[in-house]
């Protein structure tokens, strides 16, 4: 059965470039990003892990731990990290999971047989402090992901988790947000002292509450 939003993220034990981990224990009470790449020593993956390393401070500011995964062995990961650091001018500080038996990839549905029977596609999962899956994105092997978009989504998810708001199309940190339909306009006016702008009864904006 495939994973869906709101499902508990499967727990697992794994060997990584940062040592052995137990996934849920590793995440603790924070957020997590687990993403797969098709193989080590490949060009698109090298740029992706380099970009993630470059943005690691941004993930940490949001209390997010990042883990990468492929079905290659650990010794290959360690060698590839040297190449990533050299070519992308970064220092990869997050764990890369060695999933040689594909048990984690299969648990998360990262292998799509019609695309490749042996390698993982570019799957990415955002996991909340409750260990539930909040976001799933899947890219083909040929297309590198936009990790600024991943950060934008995390900002939205964390805002929604704290306040009764949603975010509109193309929303960016600091812009107005949408009051969720479950809250009446009267309650929204009391809840959001910065003001509520009513466009339609179902479309109401308010300034970002935590700004």
33 is an active site residue: no
Long-range contacts, stretch 82-86, CB < 8 angstroms, 24+ apart: 83/41, 83/46, 84/46, 84/49, 84/50, 84/53, 85/53
CB-based contact 17:95 (threshold 8 Å):
yes
Q: Pick the catalytic residue from 14, 21, 45, 133.
A: 45
63 contacts: CB under 8 Å, gap ≥ 6:
30, 31
**CA 173 – CA 159 distance, rounded (Å):** 10
Q: Which residues participate in catalysis according to the annotation?
A: 45
């Amino acid at each position: 059965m495939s994973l869906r939003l709101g499902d508990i993220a499967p727990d697992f034990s794994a060997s990584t470039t940062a040592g052995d981990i137990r996934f849920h224990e590793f995440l603790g009470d924070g957020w997590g990003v687990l993403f797969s790449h098709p193989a080590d020593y490949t060009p698109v993956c090298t740029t992706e892990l380099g970009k993630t390393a470059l943005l690691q401070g941004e993930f940490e500011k949001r209390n997010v731990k990042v883990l990468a995964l492929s079905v290659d062995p650990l010794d290959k990961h360690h060698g590839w990290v040297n190449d990533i650091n050299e070519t992308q001018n970064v220092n990869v500080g997050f764990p890369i999971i060695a999933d040689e038996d594909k048990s984690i990839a299969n648990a998360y549905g990262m292998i799509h047989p019609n695309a490749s029977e042996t390698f993982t596609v570019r799957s990415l999962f955002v996991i909340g402090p409750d260990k539930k899956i909040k976001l799933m994105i899947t890219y083909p092997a040929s297309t590198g992901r936009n990790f600024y978009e991943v950060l934008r989504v995390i900002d939205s998810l964390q805002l929604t988790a704290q306040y009764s708001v949603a975010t509109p199309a193309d929303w960016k940190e600091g812009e107005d947000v949408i009051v969720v339909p479950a809250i009446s306009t009267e309650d929204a006016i009391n809840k959001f002292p910065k003001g509520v702008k009513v466009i339609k009864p179902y479309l109401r904006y308010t300034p970002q509450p935590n700004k």
